[in-house]
Chains A and B, each alone.
Chain A
């Protein structure tokens, strides 16, 4: 998922991360949970002058981030969000990580407690290729976005765009923006039911807020 060390600076940024950056207001306070080697944080600091922080599970990622002058701690979305005070950040970003957490529901609520807004993206398990792969092959799907076999993937809580929207409703979370992203990073619309995007989108990306 993260780009190799030293290859990601100077505005050269993965397109899905650029879409997340578009949702972030300049000069805001941002926490990037699962920040990898700091590609997005670095971009946000330079392009939007945000006060950025990161949490990353892998030691290699953390060392790379801190070595680049980013404020990043080694930690875990499941266990290390509860220390942060309420509304400490304008945005908390969880990019391609929700499906790998032990307790996505708690994590989601934590994101919206410590951030005024949360930006969440995840691979859509309702994508037609995923469905087709399971239907025809009868094996756990391995696709471009879900590229590891069932026995080695960290993704333990995969969901579809509609699953996610239903959880937001259940938790009283407001979806302020929703976009779909295809494998080329092109964004598309997600309708209010999410039915079509649920079939056609490889990834879902959501800007969320919650009244406390």
Chain B
């Protein structure tokens, strides 16, 4: 499907599909720079029906990628949303045509700081323009144009994915039938910016970062990136979940060692999170994407009134939060709901009871699935979509997932 014009081999050979966009006209970014042509790497699952009505766009979070339901090419692990996406799942690949694209400034094949700047023939590094959530969404809209998809049945995503969902609904209301922002916010809070800054400083303090030029200089700021991951990973959990999982349990030892080894299981766990992360993620990408989240403030584009972002919207929204999420707490999600109410939008809002913190959106939460399945079924009925397994194929017969090694 589509032409795979790729004159420049991306630094990452990401299996799946990719497309060069912004060829005729470059993409105008919020920072004022123009980008193009640029590559977007993506995966699709299921089949687009003949009416092109059943497309679902999944927007991934900070450290996610397009491998939502297929084996990750670096880690060999299954897709990152196994509970949600697949045959018979909430996002039923027998029913919906599912698209997930690596975000702009990501590191799995889409244009980003580790890819080659066509002007110089060298990796972009910090010369890559600073990207916003709105820029990510603009790139995704160009991808839809390329796929010939006028409007989406649903845009769904958690965390930063939810920010993209909100931006989609605000920027392209006619292209979004249903929108599901999960564990998200219409703006990044001071506390969240603060945590991101800790992560960025950890990366930039690593001598191997080399002012962002590590790819050219043959080094890798993996220690800094691992610390960034460790710090932020804590924010994805909850005190209760950490206590339940680890308590003060010691790691493979009977007693404390009076040293700085990983005595505690929780330390060992975090170190493991850090170490495995650096194999699959680019440090500069981490800087760019965290920055995009920090800059996100949807209301700012609309005179400070969030409701104005949704004026006249006909999109059906389902906002979801989790009781133990302190990174994107219910309060922030409720603010979205209040704005949608003020815009007289069609909105559902549920708070899921769980102790798993922000990460709950990625985990096995039966209540979430039951509720989302109901919401999507209701929306599918309104849109006149066929039930599961009845979608007639038009494109995507060879889904991206099946092209994987």
* Chain A interface residues toward B at CB < 8 A: 51, 53, 59, 62-63, 65-75, 80, 83-85, 88
Contacts and interface: CB of A to CB of B under 8 A. Distances in A.
Given A69-B378, A73-B347, A59 B341 contact: no
A176 to B, nearest CB: 24
Interface string B338-354: 11011110111111010
B375 A84 contact: no
B97 to A, nearest CB: 21
Interface centre among B346, B370, B371 (most CB of A within 10 A): B371
Contacts of B348: 62, 65-66, 70-73
Main secondary structure, interface of A, reads: mixed
Interface string B374-397: 110111010000000000000000
Contacts of A63: 350, 367, 370-371
A83 B342 contact: yes
Contacts, number: 66
B223 interface: no
B121 to A, nearest CB: 52
B350 A66 contact: yes
Contacts of A80: 338, 341
Contacts of B53: none
30 contacts: A53-B346, A59-B350, A59-B351, A59-B353, A65-B348, A66-B348, A66-B371, A67-B371, A67-B375, A68-B374, A68-B378, A69-B374, A70-B378, A71-B316, A73-B319, A73-B337, A74-B349, A75-B337, A75-B349, A80-B338, A83-B307, A83-B338, A83-B339, A83-B341, A83-B342, A84-B344, A85-B342, A85-B343, A85-B344, A88-B344
B344 A69 contact: no
A67 B366 CA distance: 12
Nearest to A54: B348
Contacts of A69: 374-375, 377-379, 381
A62 B381 CA distance: 20
Given A83-B338, A83-B341, A66 B374 contact: yes
A66 B351 CA distance: 11
A83 B343 CA distance: 9
Given A68-B378, A71-B316, A62 B349 contact: yes
A84 B374 contact: no
A62 B350 contact: yes
B141 interface: no
Contacts of B370: 63, 67
Contacts of B381: 69
A84 B349 contact: no
Interface in B312-328: 316, 318-319
A62 B330 CA distance: 15
Contacts of B319: 73
B53 to A, nearest CB: 18
B116 interface: no
Contacts of A72: 348-349
B266 interface: no
Contacts of A51: 346
Contacts of A68: 374, 378
Contacts of B346: 51, 53, 71
B250 interface: no
Contacts of A53: 346-347
The 10 A-B residue pairs with the shortest CB-CB distance in the complex, in nearest-first order: A69-B378, A67-B374, A73-B349, A83-B341, A88-B344, A83-B338, A66-B348, A83-B342, A66-B371, A67-B371
Contacts of B35: none
Contact of B341 (A62, A65, A70, A73): A73
Contacts of B338: 80, 83
Contacts of B343: 85
